[in-house]
Amino acid sequence: MLAIRNTRQLFLDSNLIARSTAALRMHSPSPRELVHTFDAPDDGNGSGSYLTLLHDGPTYLLYYLSWDMYDSSFKRSARVLTSLDGIRWDRPNLRNGINIVFDPADYNHGIDNFIPFIDQNPACKPDERFKAFSGLGWNNLHAYSSPDGFHWSPMFDNKPLAMEGAFDSSNLCFWDTVRGRYTAYIRNFHDIPDGDVNRGIRDIRVSYSDDFEHWTEPKLLDYGSGDDIPLYVSAAQPYFRAPEYFVAFPVRYVEHPAWSPAFDQLSNPEHRKYRISLHPRYGLAVTDCLFMSTRDGEHWQKSDEAFLRPGPVCDKSWVYGDCYLSVGMAATPSDRPGAPDEISLYACENHWNGPKQIRRYTLRADGFMSLHAGGAQTFTETATLTFEGSTLELNVSTSAVGSVRVELADAHGRVYEGFSFNDCDDIFTDRLDYRVTWNGSADVSKLTGKPVRMRFVMREADLYSFRFV
């Protein structure tokens, strides 16, 4: 029996469902406007890598790595953009007219990435409210802290953490508010033939800590059945509207064995051939992005198809580095007056050729996946659960002829009096917080704490989440 209390429940997997004729459908984000171009004189053509979004009070902070792909003398650093709405971004003047927040030269070592988070551990010291991982190659992951997100200091005597991994791309951490521990998702490889790392399978591993210094041995994520495909740059994070769920947008790495005519019809084949001359995978690899979710941090439900595709062939698309979505997301205003906030995600374009740009993508709140019904009526029954609250709210969308009805039954399948499909008032809407009524009343308080099976009949509708409040 699931004790869901008054937490928001999303249809990200089949864990809630006992039986159903409806389908679980993934929804991809919509591309919106370009929000920033890395064209300042001090920006290298690789600036914008590993975007990390934090929300601190009224301000959004968007961190990124600044570097140049072809200039080995370029001084790598971590930088930040700021915004009050997640749509319009500024380049703050922090250090000699530049938006640098972290210069590794201050600590006598380089960086391949810098991924910060706001520590929600109740025992966190105020001057360590912000923390970050910064990786460099193999087995070299450093920890840093900051009181404000702008001024950073090394932790643990500037020594690498005792953790094994390939830390040359995104490695991230957060405080799990539900389980009360630090959780880290790091990059590594497995099945490495003849010691050639680039021929190994890129993977994601999870590690835990109580104190941010001592970590468990990283373990491979479990995706259940399916092909063992190269995944990295996980962008794993608690979902801010339902932190019991973790969501992730891992990059799917696809390296073609040789040049094919399809490459001739992608963007800028001559530049692609130049990249191949530096290393074959720089031109032969392409990337997209999957969606996956978990309730326990280790066992993940992974999409079989792309959550974000490289998109139309244009001047600088379809390259190794496309579809790296940000760690973190923002709740941003809709461009429709009166409509609810949307989720905004961010990704860079123009990788390799530059100047890189950040594009915003939007998604309905809770809109990663839905319980979907087409033109034919569907039936769904949940597992037995208990709840706390007096009303039932649905995040639901229907067509004009579509409809949803809800029935509440006990653990044995017997319908509670007054809560049958016939009692349920017809639902046709598109709302994040639709209050279900039975014979005009939304009150379900007499069922609080009792075993309940929820039943849905749907037609031309998507049900994204529900919550008792």
In angstroms, how far is CA 72 from the centroid of its own chain?
A: 31
Where in the chain is CATH 2.115.10.20?
28-363
User: Could you tell me the strand order of the sheet in which 219-220 lies?
Assistant: 172-176, 181-190, 201-209, 219-220
Residue 198 has what pLDDT?
72
Residue 46: which of 18, 72, 65, 25 has the closest Cα? 65
Q: Looking at residue 449, what DSSP letter applies?
A: T
Where in the chain is CATH 2.60.120?
2-25+369-468
Locus of tokens 């209390």: 5
Amino acid present at 9: Q
**Cβ atoms of 459 and 375 closer than 8 Å:** yes
Assigned CATH class of 2-25+369-468 = mainly beta
Cα–Cα distances in angstroms (integers) from residue 83 to residues 13, 29, 89, 101, 348, in the given order: 34, 21, 5, 16, 17
- Percentage of residues in the chain having pLDDT higher than 90: 87
Residue 113: which of 167, 193, 183 has the closest Cα? 167
- Rounded to 5 degrees, φ, ψ at 467 are -155, 140
For 254-271, the pLDDT digits (tens) are 999 999 999 999 989 999
Residue 159 has what pLDDT?
93
For 54-108, the pLDDT digits (tens) are 999 999 999 999 999 888 888 899 999 999 999 999 999 998 889 999 998 887 7
**Cβ atoms of 44 and 68 closer than 8 Å:** yes
**Per-residue pLDDT at 196 exceeds 80:** no
Give the strand pairing for 392-409 and 115-118: unpaired
Residue 328: which of 105, 136, 107, 80 has the closest Cα? 80
Assigned CATH class of 28-363 = mainly beta
